[in-house]
Amino acid sequence: MAFKFEKLEIWQQSLDYLTLIYQISDKLPAQERYNLRSQMTRAATSVNLNIAEGSTGQTDAEQARFLGLALRSLFETVACLHIIHRLNYLEDPEALRNAYLEAEVLARRITAMRKHLVPNQTWLREPDAIYSTPQEDVTPFD
């Protein structure tokens, strides 16, 4: 591996998450091809790309900024999972559950890395409790 980001576990995990999102998007109805499917896959791709871009010789603060962008895109994909569930686009919500649980883990890891890079930064964000305690096998799709 020649690039720093390729060694980052969160980048590798974001690739796994991206694969899950593409698998879900492939099951969406044809009428969602240019709307929900496109939006969701672009957001998941953005998670991965922002982690990679932020790792390139930037300051810690700059890398933390890119991790913040990755986190925002991750939240966007989670919102898409809710839309898919609400509209009953998948018969079996197992894929949604798996993606949701992966998103929780990835969000915690991105947040932890961001805090490690810039520990004294005050971020505008949701309460930390959301990401600090894993909710094993509990999703809104149960």
pLDDT tens for each residue of 12-61: 999 999 999 999 999 999 999 899 999 999 999 999 999 999 998 779 99
pTM greater than 0.85: yes
Angle among Cα 56, 60, 61 to the nearest 5 degrees reads 110
Q: Give residue 87's domain range.
A: 4-132
* Domain-embedded: residue 56: yes
Average pLDDT, the chain: 90
* Domain-embedded: residue 120: yes
* Domain-embedded: residue 139: no
* Domain-embedded: residue 142: no
How many CA atoms, within 13 angstroms, populate the side-chain half-sphere of residue 58?
Answer: 18
CATH for 30: 1.20.1440.60
Round to whole Å and give the CA distance between 20 and 6: 19
* Domain-embedded: residue 137: no
Q: How many domains does the chain have?
A: 1
